[in-house]
């Protein structure tokens, strides 16, 4: 039976396109769906005698509230549904797993002189994105190859063509046109950019022809060094072409999608994609899709299509699927809108296209078996590590949640702490926390910092802070006896006692409260590998946060302390005067003349920059004091 809140909303549902969100007792989003007619679709879940699958019945039993968002069309509802699923990741939806952010190559075509950079996020900007690649090594290998062949910016820094420094070695090697030194011809550079796009999209034949022709011309003109360089570039492109397997005689761009489901251990589906450009296979990748139990193959394929192409770097002119899907026409319209051109979706039954789907299916089966084998091995190692750790530390059972703490500071300044969490042997980044140490005597004191951060964390738990309510099975601090004693004192202060250990760096020994001798784990112990991994992650997280805090302190400007002078006015002052020294040297009238400034603000800024108020004898403006 629906709750009173749901029953009331069912009476007023509009008969229009839109999205609906089912919520649990805590307000969490359980499921996101879309409908051409919201009234009919949402009410169908709650009708007596409705033929619902077990999964949907479990969903309905948990619904405490619902929300609807009305849209103007089914296409608009589809776009909204995709973004809502990505944002909330509801447990009852089929979801593209996001535990791995795949790397992409970004060509910054929004800049005057585009450069290639590695990124893990496809943004809706004016840049071009290529990928996804299976790992960052594949991206870096591609970047190295492109930098050998095409003279783009190789240092990765943005330049507008103005001479700001001397050209580097890459310019003299012929691998960069040096826009940093104002030496780059913009038309020639943009021609190279166009060729990089062709290269990344699998259209390399004309590049080979151009390089070969230029090499022969250079040799005829006795420019042997240039000819040798062009020969190396030509051979590099030829090697790339040879590695790209020709899969179809049709010189078109295609994505081939195949799905293999597993209901034994993973309860997930593996999706294999072939990226075919100009008839050649230029890349492939596999993805895991969650929440596929009791879902048809058609539903899994449809949901993958929507979630993958929502942020895809490119959409080809043809997509091959293993089966028909519902809403085929609306999905086709959506893809066409995103691409700006016609997109065909086919379910081949014979011929070359069918062979491609079958090949992708075989690869999906192989990928799924590999994933299952890796998961089994990882699970075995994790269980062994937790069991060994429990035995070594004298715990009643293997620790399911381990928290590790580390301190970072620079000679006592900018002191911060990290808390990382490992649950069942897996790091849980969403559970990580970071702290700024409040103790401000300016001296490095790891013991006092550990005491403070453990006490603060446990106090937050006792006070019911939802970010800290889950208590660990084991706390590990980075350090030896001193750090363990400080953490133990913090537990005494809060009156909350938990299993505790310290991992000392020098010999990787574990120290326990009240124990004179350390626990020495065998060097090949899975438990030792686990605690080292957790400790190193805490160290990394603390250092990363510490670096951000230090950078923020170094870039802090005195202008930020003046009320009324926000980012826009600060930027206007910097652009007008060129730096803080010239701002300090300006008169009140000169400050007030800057766009956005008033006489009152200029006076306030002047008085802040010149607290002593004395005047330079030469030019009559206040001067700085020196000790």
| 505 contact partners, CB below 8 Å, separation of at least 6 | 478
Q: Does the pLDDT at position 495 exceed 80?
A: yes
Q: Does the pLDDT at position 406 exceed 90?
A: yes
On whether residue 589 sits in a domain, the answer given is: yes
Residues 268 and 344 in one domain: yes
On whether residue 396 sits in a domain, the answer given is: no
Residues 518 and 449 in one domain: yes
pLDDT at 39: 92
On whether residue 392 sits in a domain, the answer given is: no
Over residues 233-258, the mean pLDDT reads 68
Q: Does the pLDDT at position 438 exceed 70?
A: yes
Residues 228 and 174 in one domain: yes
What pLDDT digit, counting tens, does each position of 351-369 carry? Answer: 888 888 888 888 888 888 8
Lowest-confidence region among 12-26, 113-127, 194-208: 194-208
pLDDT level of residue 442 (50, 70, 90 thresholds): low
On whether residue 551 sits in a domain, the answer given is: no
On whether residue 379 sits in a domain, the answer given is: no
| 273 contact partners, CB below 8 Å, separation of at least 6 | 255, 256, 257, 284, 285, 286, 287, 308, 360
Residue 305's domain is classified under what CATH number? Answer: 3.30.420
Closest CA to 437 of 420, 460, 412: 412
Q: Does the pLDDT at position 555 exceed 70?
A: no
Residue 580's domain is classified under what CATH number? Answer: 1.10.150.20
| 578 contact partners, CB below 8 Å, separation of at least 6 | none
pLDDT at 244: 47
Three-class secondary structure of residue 167 per DSSP: coil
pLDDT at 366: 83
* Buried residues in 37-71 as b, exposed as e (16+ CB within 10 A): ebbebbeebbeeeeeeeeeeeebbeebbbbebbeb
Q: What's the Rg (C-alpha) of the chain?
A: 31
Over residues 142-155, the mean pLDDT reads 82
Residues 113 and 237 in one domain: yes
Q: Does the pLDDT at position 616 exceed 90?
A: no
pLDDT level of residue 269 (50, 70, 90 thresholds): confident
Average pLDDT, the chain: 84
Counting residues of the chain whose pLDDT is more than 70, the rounded percentage is 91
Residues 285 and 316 in one domain: yes
Residues 109 and 238 in one domain: yes
Closest CA to 280 of 246, 330, 314: 246
Q: Does the pLDDT at position 604 exceed 90?
A: no
pLDDT level of residue 613 (50, 70, 90 thresholds): low
Residues 570 and 452 in one domain: no
pLDDT at 484: 93
Q: Please say which residue of 23, 58, 93 terminates a domain.
A: 93
Counting residues of the chain whose pLDDT is more than 90, the rounded percentage is 30
On whether residue 501 sits in a domain, the answer given is: yes
Q: Please say which residue of 194, 223, 246 terminates a domain.
A: 246
What pLDDT digit, counting tens, does each position of 175-185 carry? Answer: 888 899 888 88
What pLDDT digit, counting tens, does each position of 300-353 carry? Answer: 999 999 988 888 888 899 999 999 998 899 999 999 998 888 999 999 988 888
On whether residue 616 sits in a domain, the answer given is: no
Q: Please say which residue of 73, 93, 113 terminates a domain.
A: 93
CA distance 292 to 294: 6
Residues 420 and 497 in one domain: yes
Both tokens assigned to 240: 């790339």
Residues 288 and 222 in one domain: no
CA distance 355 to 366: 17
Both tokens assigned to 28: 């969490």
Closest CA to 461 of 521, 401, 515: 401
501 membership: H or E segment, kind and range:
strand 500-503
Beta strands at 318-320 and 254-262: parallel, antiparallel or unpaired: parallel
On whether the CB atoms of residues 20 and 38 are closer than 8 A, the answer is yes
Q: Does the pLDDT at position 515 exceed 70?
A: yes
The total number of structural domains that make up the chain: 5
CA distance 468 to 494: 14
What pLDDT digit, counting tens, does each position of 22-36 carry? Answer: 999 888 999 999 999
Residue 86's domain is classified under what CATH number? Answer: 3.40.1440.10
CA distance 397 to 65: 39
| 586 contact partners, CB below 8 Å, separation of at least 6 | 577, 621
Boundaries of domain holding 117: 104-246
Over residues 541-568, the mean pLDDT reads 78
On whether residue 230 sits in a domain, the answer given is: yes
Q: Does the pLDDT at position 274 exceed 90?
A: no
pLDDT at 83: 87
Residues 485 and 502 in one domain: yes
Is residue 166 exposed (0-12), middle (13-18) or buried (19+ Cβ within 10 Å)? exposed
Both tokens assigned to 184: 């780059």
Over residues 250-257, the mean pLDDT reads 84
Residues 531 and 411 in one domain: yes
Residues 342 and 455 in one domain: no
On whether the CB atoms of residues 270 and 371 are closer than 8 A, the answer is yes
Q: Does the pLDDT at position 241 exceed 70?
A: no
């Amino acid at each position: 039976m629906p709750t009173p809140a749901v029953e009331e909303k069912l009476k007023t549902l509009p008969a229009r396109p839109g999205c609906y969100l089912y919520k649990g007792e805590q307000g969490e989003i359980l499921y996101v769906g879309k409908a051409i007619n919201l009234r009919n679709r949402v009410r169908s879940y709650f009708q007596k005698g409705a033929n619902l699958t077990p999964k949907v019945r479990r969903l309905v039993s948990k619904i405490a509230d619902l929300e609807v968002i009305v849209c103007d069309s089914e296409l608009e509802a589809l776009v909204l549904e995709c973004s809502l699923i990505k944002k909330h990741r509801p447990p009852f939806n089929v979801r593209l797993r996001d535990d791995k952010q795949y790397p992409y190559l970004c060509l910054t075509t929004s800049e005057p002189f585009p450069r290639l950079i590695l990124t893990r996020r496809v943004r809706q900007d004016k840049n071009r994105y290529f990928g996804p690649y299976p790992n960052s090594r594949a991206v870096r290998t591609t970047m190295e190859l492109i930098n050998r062949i095409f003279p783009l910016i190789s240092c990765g820094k943005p330049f507008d063509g103005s001479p700001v420094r001397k050209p580097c070695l890459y310019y003299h090697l012929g691998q960069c046109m040096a826009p940093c030194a104002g030496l780059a011809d913009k038309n020639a550079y943009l021609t190279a950019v166009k060729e990089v796009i062709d290269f990344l999209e699998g259209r390399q034949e004309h590049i080979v022809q151009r390089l070969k022709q230029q090499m022969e011309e250079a040799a005829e003109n006795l420019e042997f060094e240039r000819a040798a360089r062009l020969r190396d570039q030509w051979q590099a492109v030829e090697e790339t072409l040879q590695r790209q397997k020709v899969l179809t005689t049709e010189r078109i761009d295609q994505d081939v999608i195949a799905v293999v489901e597993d209901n034994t251990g993973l309860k997930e589906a593996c999706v294999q994609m072939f990226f075919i450009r100009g008839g050649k296979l230029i890349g492939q990748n596999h993805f895991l899709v969650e929440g596929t139990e009791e879902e048809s193959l058609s539903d899994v394929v449809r949901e993958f299509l929507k979630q993958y192409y929502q942020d895809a770097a490119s959409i080809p002119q043809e997509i091959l699927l293993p089966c028909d899907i519902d809403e085929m026409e609306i999905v086709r319209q959506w893809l066409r809108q995103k691409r700006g051109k016609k997109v065909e979706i086919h379910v081949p039954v014979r011929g070359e296209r069918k062979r491609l789907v079958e090949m992708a299916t075989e690869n999906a089966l192989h990928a799924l078996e590999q994933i299952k084998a890796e998961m089994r091995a990882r699970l075995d190692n994790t269980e062994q590590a937790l069991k060994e750790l429990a035995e070594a530390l004298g715990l009643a059972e293997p620790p399911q949640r381990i928290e590790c703490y580390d301190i970072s500071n620079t000679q006592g300044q900018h002191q911060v702490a990290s808390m990382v969490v490992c649950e069942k042997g897996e790091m849980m980044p969403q559970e990580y926390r970071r702290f700024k140490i409040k103790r401000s005597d300016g001296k490095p004191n790891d013991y006092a910092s550990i005491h403070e951060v453990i006490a603060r964390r446990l106090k937050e738990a006792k006070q019911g802070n939802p970010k800290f309510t889950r208590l660990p099975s084991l706390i590990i601090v980075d350090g030896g006896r001193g750090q363990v004693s400080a953490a133990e004192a913090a537990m005494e202060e809060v009156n909350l006692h938990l299993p505790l250990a310290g991992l000392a760096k020098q010999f990787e020994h574990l120290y326990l409260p009240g124990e004179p001798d350390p626990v020495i784990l065998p060097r090949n112990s899975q438990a030792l590998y686990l605690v080292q991994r957790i400790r190193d992650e805490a160290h990394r997280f603390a250092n990363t946060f510490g670096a951000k805090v230090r950078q923020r302190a170094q870039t802090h400007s005195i202008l930020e302390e003046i009320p009324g002078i926000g980012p826009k006015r600060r930027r206007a002052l910097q652009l007008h005067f060129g730096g803080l020294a010239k701002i300090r040297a300006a008169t009140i009238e000169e400050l007030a003349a800057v766009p956005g400034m008033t006489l009152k603000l200029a006076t306030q800024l002047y008085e802040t920059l010149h607290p002593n108020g004395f005047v330079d004898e030469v030019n009559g403006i206040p001067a700085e004091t020196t000790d």
